[in-house]
């Protein structure tokens, strides 16, 4: 897509001209997403829980990521267009009976259109992403994006956390509308807290010990998982912590997981898009 390439060059050029933050790679060609540049980063944490060992350098291709968590209003557009994913029609095996628990039929809770959708299973998140022409991030993509270009920091902005940084620790005691706190270096909001975010990967506590260096992914190939997601039954990763979790658990390196039918008040998602090569 040469046109997109030209737009990208123009946008980057404008940023350079005005001396803006070097990590603000906004790309107006992809609505509501930012470009996360290709490159290496240090994944994991040396002094944390054993599933985060060891810190290892990985290379991730460029990708676009949603600036915000997927909202209730966005999710409603999906179920309106895809009735088989509505609360009263979804196949029982694709959720744990709490799917869209706070919704009244096909309507999200009053005044919460701009809150992140929650009570969505991994299956539902995968279906939404496919419908949107996107996909869930790999765990490596997610962590690289969350770090926002910083090296060796615990949070998307630095090393400490308090109530003003992110929706966590029950300071608000509920989800917040998306985008209420400062974005990270890539322009992404709520990578710490609000809701956990489903990733594509199968959760494997030992994966970092044997991780491939380029575009690591646990549990097969991206294509296999995306094409056959409905038949997957192994636990899937979610990242970033939620509105109730304490500071230690909204760290950029913290890993957690649930079975793919798990739907929780604490878990939502955001999508990414592979950068198409000419
Ligand atoms: Ca989040
Ligand atoms: Ca953990």
Would the pLDDT of 160 be above 90?
yes
Q: Is the peptide bond before 54 cis (omega within 30 degrees of 0)?
A: yes
CATH number 3.90.1580.10 is the correct assignment for the domain at 21-274? yes
Would the pLDDT of 154 be above 90?
yes
Which residues does residue 273 pair with via DSSP β-bridges, in sequence order?
64
φ and ψ of 146, to 5 deg: -65, -35
Looking at the CA of 190, which ligand is closest? 1
Distance 96 CA to ligand 1 centre (A): 21
Phi-psi bin for 95: left (phi > 0), alpha (psi -120 to 50), beta?
beta
Question: Stretch 18-37: mean pLDDT, rounded?
Answer: 63
Would the pLDDT of 271 be above 70?
yes
pLDDT tens-digit map of 223-258:
999 999 999 999 999 999 999 999 999 999 999 999
Which residues does residue 146 pair with via DSSP β-bridges, in sequence order?
none
Question: pLDDT higher for 22 or 203?
Answer: 203
Distance, C-alpha 224 to centroid of its chain: 20
* pTM of the predicted structure, to 2 decimals: 0.89
Would the pLDDT of 57 be above 80?
yes
Neighbours of 83 (CB within 10 A): 11
Looking at the CA of 256, which ligand is closest? 2
Distance 222 CA to ligand 1 centre (A): 22
**Contact of 197 with 239, CB cutoff 8 Å:** yes
**Cα 46 to Cα 50, 213, 254, distances in angstroms:** 9, 17, 12
Under DSSP, the state recorded for 245 is: S
Both structure tokens of 168:
């966590």
Alpha helices by DSSP H, listed for the chain, are 2-17, 72-81, 122-131, 139-147, 222-227
Which residues does residue 274 pair with via DSSP β-bridges, in sequence order?
63
| Mean predicted lDDT score pLDDT of the chain | 91
Residues of the chain with pLDDT > 90, as a percent, come to 88
pLDDT tens-digit map of 118-147:
999 999 999 999 999 999 999 999 999 999
Looking at the chain, how many residues does it have? Answer: 278
Nearest to 91 by CA among 228, 261, 265: 261
> Look-up: residue for tokens 């199968």?
202
Looking at the CA of 145, which ligand is closest? 1
Both structure tokens of 59:
């290379």
| pLDDT score recorded for residue 30 | 81
Distance 10 CA to ligand 2 centre (A): 41
List the shell of residues around ion ligand 1, using CB closer than 5 Å.
190, 194, 240
> CA 153 to CA 39: how far, in whole Å?
18
Going through 137-215 in order, the beta strands assigned E by DSSP cover 196-202
How do the domains of the chain map onto residue ranges?
21-274
């Amino acid at each position: 897509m040469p046109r997109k390439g030209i737009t990208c060059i123009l946008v980057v050029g404008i940023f350079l001209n005005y001396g803006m933050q070097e990590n603000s790679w906004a790309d107006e060609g992809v609505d509501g997403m930012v470009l996360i540049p290709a490159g290496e980063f240090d994944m994991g944490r040396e002094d944390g829980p054993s599933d985060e060992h060891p810190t290892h350098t990985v290379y991730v291709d460029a990708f676009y990521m949603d600036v915000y968590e997927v909202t209730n209003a966005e999710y409603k557009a999906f179920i309106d267009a895809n009735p088989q994913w509505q609360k009263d029609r979804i196949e029982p095996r694709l959720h744990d009976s709490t799917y869209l628990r706070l919704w009244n039929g096909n309507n999200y809770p009053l005044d919460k259109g701009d809150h992140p959708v929650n009570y969505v299973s991994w299956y539902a998140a995968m279906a939404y992403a496919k419908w949107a022409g996107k996909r869930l991030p790999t765990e490596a993509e997610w962590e690289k994006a969350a770090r926002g270009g910083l090296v060796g920091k615990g949070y998307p902005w630095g090393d400490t956390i308090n109530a003003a940084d992110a929706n966590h620790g029950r300071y608000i005691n509920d989800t917040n509308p998306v985008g209420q706190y400062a974005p990270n270096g890539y322009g992404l909001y709520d990578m710490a807290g609000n809701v956990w975010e489903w990733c594509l990967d199968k959760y494997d506590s030992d994966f970092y010990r044997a991780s491939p260096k380029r575009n690591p992914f646990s549990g097969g190939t991206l294509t296999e998982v995306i094409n056959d997601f409905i038949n997957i039954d192994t636990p899937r990763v979610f990242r970033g912590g939620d509105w109730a979790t304490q500071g230690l658990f909204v760290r950029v390196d913290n890993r957690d997981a649930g079975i793919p039918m798990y739907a929780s008040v604490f878990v939502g998602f955001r999508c990414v898009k592979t950068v198409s090569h000419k």
